[in-house]
Structure formats: structure tokens, C-alpha cells
A and B are shown apart, each in its own frame.
Chain A
Amino acid sequence: MWLAFWLIIPTLVAIGITAFYPLGQTIYDSFFKWSLRPGFQREFVGLQNYINLFQDPRFLQALWNTIYFTFFSVLIEFLLGLATALVLNADFKLRGLVRAAVLIPWAIPTAVSSQMWKWMYNDQYGVISLMLYNLGILSEGTPILGTPGIAMSAIIAVDVWKTTPFVALLLLAGLQIIPNELYEAARIDGASMWKQFTSITLPVLRPTIGVTLIFRTLDALRVFDVVYIMTQGAVGTETLAVYNRSLLMDNIFSPRGLFGYGSALSVVIFLIIGVFTVIYMRSLNIKLD
């Protein structure tokens, strides 16, 4: 009993100091007008920061961008990930090597993969830009990362490339649990490939799919790295996390006391993620005896 206590206390202290305490501080700050500017007088403003936030067009735009990004990236990642998982579950030569190759984008730091893609998107010498110009999909010289609409799609493409492997692996783990006899029996009954997919694969895979989607949604809702590096939030790509960091850090010593306002946004993001976390925990159905 005492041993358990001593074993677990370091973890709790670490988490308490570096996660719960800063969170409490942020919640507290969100009720004030203030910044880290030396001598700035904290001024209690109650819920004013939150009220202002929901009338802030930049916040509403960032909220919409985040939802847009989350919806399309998660949808495409799921479809491509499922396709990849099905292929990796089939029997072919060099499967181990292919599986390892698929993992490569996942292992590359987002900062690095963002720069790799930024080079491919370069409006004069980028391989993707040149291909799109040659195919007549984009008119010559159109900057992919400088054009509203196109920039967001380009960012989603990078996220899809980077994250689909992860989705594929989770789904593959679910696929491998399905006993082969089920398919053999179905084949004897004359079920088509499509029929086997819809009546065996999908139902068995459903819990895995659920968890994967929620897991990815949580991640996509807090997207920061790829947007920050590709566009810094320009041309209609700013997400909640990017706006939040800019509110906090670009205005850290601001005479207008925007640090409290930024903290309010932090709390709102926390609440949004919190709702999904609860759903996630429920669907995980954790065994903790």
C-alpha cells in the first residue's frame, strides 16, 4: 500500500506541476485584463474576455477553419488509411518492407515534413506546382500556399500524408484480429468481395474505427505545427491553436492586456477538446481492475 503510494507519487507530482497547475493558472488569467508587461495592473473583467471572444471575427474564422481542417483531414485519412490497411493485410511479397516504408511519413517530424512539402509547393521550382501547371490544373505561377482555399487544401494534403500511416496501422491491428475462417466460410457461401467487406470486415472493425476517428479528431482539432510553418495562418488557414499562440506570445507584453484574452481562448480550446476526450474515454471502455 505505502509502496504503491511512493511509486505513483512522482508521476502525479510531475503531471500536477506541469499540466494541472498551468491549466489552473490559465483559467484564472482568463478572467483578467492583463499581460506580462512589467507594472501592468491586473484588472478583473469577469466573463468579458469570453464575450469579446465570441464577437471576434478572427476567432470565429479560426473556429471555422479548424472544423473545416478537422473534417476533411480526418475523412480523407480514414478512407486512405482503410485502403492502406486492407492492402497491407493482403498477402504479397515484401510486405514487411512495404509496411515499414508506409511508416516513414509518420516518423518524420511535422516541422520537417512541412518544409519538404513547402519546397514541393514552391511557386517557381516546386515539383508539385510545376506538375499542376503542366497539367493545366493551376495557371502558371499561382502560389499554392498564397492562394485562399488552395492553401488550406495543400495543408490538409500534408497532414493526410503524414498521418494516414498511423490510421492505417491502427486499422490494420483491428483487421488482424479477424479470423480467416470467417472469410473462408463466406467464400464457400459464394459471398462477393464487397459482400465480405460489408458484412464481415466493417462490423468487426467498428470499435477500432470509432476509437481511431475520435483519436484523430482530437489531434486535428489542436493542429498547430503544419499550419504555422506552411502559412503562419495567412490566406484563411489560421486555426484555433495558431491564433491562440499568436494572441499569447505576440502580445505577451502588450499594453492592451491581451494575455488574459488569449487565456480565454486557451480555456475554450480546452473545453472543446475536453468534450471529445470524454467521448473517447467512454468508447475506450477501459479495464482498470
Chain B
Amino acid sequence: MKWGMRTKKNTQKTFLYIIVILMVIFYVFPFYWAIKSSFTSDQYLFTKNITLLPQGFTFENYVKVFTERPFGLNILNSVIVAGATTIFSIIVGSFAAYAIARLKIPGKAALMMLILAVSMFPQVSILGGLFQLLRRMGLINTYLGLIIPYIALNLPLTTWILQNFFRELPKEIEESAYIDGCSKFETLWRIVLPLSAPGLVTTGLLTFIQAWNEFLFALTFMQTPEKYTVPVAIAMFTGKTFYEVPWGQLMAASVIVTMPLVILVLIFQNRIVQGLTAGSVKG
């Protein structure tokens, strides 16, 4: 009997590990395949032999991505746009979140609904109106033309997640700061924000990833290859002729832009999961 139980447990464990391995292969393989292809020279890339390791190992694709196209500029554009979006969303969003979490506002529930509703706006539904607005302001093909809409799109999520964090801070600290003569604003700036650094980091990460990955607005509002952000540059990747796609280079570019995100995810996994669930599930 005891032996029977043991074997049953062992079979279950083995079964679990097999499933885990299959699962990891499913989620990681396409990324692995991109890495493998990026290090394979064209001569071996365009063959019908499938090998798991790169044949004709080369860095050539990585060099060409930066020398044959404005990919360095594209990365810089994305860093500027996503960075500025993150900083401004955090500053503006944390003010609103604090007001909602701690201060008395008439019609607070309706206000929160209004802000949250914006996060559901189908982007394509405001594309036409936004395009006209940006055109009138002369912001098409400029960084600001992306940063401003991105901030607005991210604010609902930022506000929502941050107010969740602010609510969880002990009220007593703020009260004692107030008694010590800090104004409400000083309390927010000098006490609440530093204390909620973890929440700010989480929100910042999510905002950054969202802005870094956004495609529709970037595709529509940035109209020259030098102004493309990374996702648009990758989507528009063509070779010397329209039909010939330099797959090795394209995979190298994909790996370059994915690596920072993968590293961020590996380091901040717990934070990201926390933020995602706070942003959607928590009531």
C-alpha cells in the first residue's frame, strides 16, 4: 500500500514536470527561434534543413541592422517617447490618484467611472479625430504628437493602480505629518510619494511597456522612417526590394528590442503581476 501511494505520487510528479516542460517550450520557442535565426547567416537561414542551433554563426545581422537602416534612431525615438510618457503619466496620475484615494471630492464615483471608461476607448475610434487635432496643432510626425495621446491613454490605468497603492498606506503617517505642519501637498510630495515607491515603479513599468509597444497611433502619426518608433520600424521592415525581406536582420532587430523587456520582466516579475492584477481584477 505504502509503495503504491509512493509510485502514484511519483507518476503525478513526473506528469507535472512533463507538462511544465511542454508549457515552457510553447511559451519560449518562438523567442528562441528568433534568437537562433538572428545568429544564422543567410546561406544557412534560407534552407529547408531545420537545425536547433544556428549554423554559420554570425553577428552580421546585428551589425547590418544598425548600418543599413535608421534602427538606432528608431530605438532613440522609442526611448524618448516611452520615457516621457512614463514620467508625465506618473506625475499627473499620482496627483489624481491621491485626490481620489484620500481627499473628499463630490461625485467621486462618477469621476472614477469616467476616467476608467477612457481605458476602454477603442483606439481606432478616436484615430480620425485625433489625427485632425494633431494636424491642426502641427504635431504630426513629432514626438509630442505621440507623447500627448499616450499620456492620456495611460492615465486611467496609472490613476487606478496608484490609488489602490495609496489606499493601502497607513493613514497615521500622513496625519502626523499634517500635525507637524506639512501642508497636504507637501505631505503628498515628501511623505506619500516616497513611501509608495514600489507602486510608482510598478505603474511606471506597465506604462513604459505599453508606450514602448503601442502600434496604431505610432503607425499613423509618425510618417517618415527616421521618426518611426521601434514597433513601426519592425512592422515596416523591408529589404532592397519590397518582396525580399531580410529575415536574419529582422530577427536581430526583434531580439534587440525584446531583450530589455525580457530582462525587465525577469527582474520585476512579481511587481508586474501585482500591477496587472491590481489594474484589472481588484475591485
Instruction: List A residues at the B interface (Cβ < 8 Å).
Output: 1, 3-5, 7-8, 10-12, 14-15, 17-26, 29, 36, 84, 87, 90, 92, 96, 98-117, 119-120, 122, 124-125, 127, 130-131, 161, 164-166, 169-170, 172-174, 208, 211-212, 215, 218, 221-222, 224-225, 228-229, 240-241, 244-245, 248-249, 252, 259, 262-263, 266-267, 269-270, 273-274, 276-277, 280-281, 284-289
With contact pairs A112-B254, A248-B128, A266-B128 given, residues A4 and B103 touching in the complex (Cβ less than 8 Å): yes
CB within 8 Å of A: which B124-160 residues: 124-133, 135, 148-149, 151-153, 155-156, 159
**Residues in B neighbouring A218, C-beta threshold 8 A:** 120
CA distance A100 to B270 in the complex (A): 9
Contact B273 A119 (CB under 8 A): no
**Residues in B neighbouring A169, C-beta threshold 8 A:** 273, 276-277
Contact A111 B128 (CB under 8 A): no
B115 located at the interface, meaning its Cβ lies under 8 Å from any Cβ of chain A in the complex: yes
With contact pairs A110-B231, A225-B215 given, residues A23 and B283 touching in the complex (Cβ less than 8 Å): no
Instruction: List B residues at the A interface (Cβ < 8 Å).
Output: 13, 16-17, 19-20, 23-24, 26-28, 30-31, 33-34, 37, 45-48, 50, 92-93, 95-96, 98-100, 103-105, 108-109, 111-118, 120-133, 135, 148-149, 151-153, 155-156, 159, 184-185, 188, 209, 212-213, 215-216, 219-220, 230-232, 234-235, 237, 247, 250-251, 254, 257-258, 261-262, 264-266, 269, 272-273, 276-277, 280-281, 283
10 contacts between A and B (CB under 8 A): A8-B96, A8-B105, A11-B115, A18-B153, A92-B16, A98-B24, A119-B37, A125-B45, A269-B122, A280-B120
Contact B111 A8 (CB under 8 A): yes
Contact B112 A286 (CB under 8 A): yes
Contact A225 B216 (CB under 8 A): yes
CA distance A102 to B266 in the complex (A): 10
Contact B281 A208 (CB under 8 A): yes
Residue pairs across A and B with CB atoms within 8 Å: the count is: 299
Contact A90 B133 (CB under 8 A): no
CA distance A17 to B132 in the complex (A): 12
Partner of A125, one of B46, B112, B116, B254: B46
With contact pairs A17-B152, A107-B264, A112-B258 given, residues A241 and B122 touching in the complex (Cβ less than 8 Å): yes
Partner of A259, one of B45, B128, B188, B269: B128
CA distance A104 to B26 in the complex (A): 11
Nearest CB on A from B51, distance (A): 10
Partner of B50, one of A104, A127, A284: A127
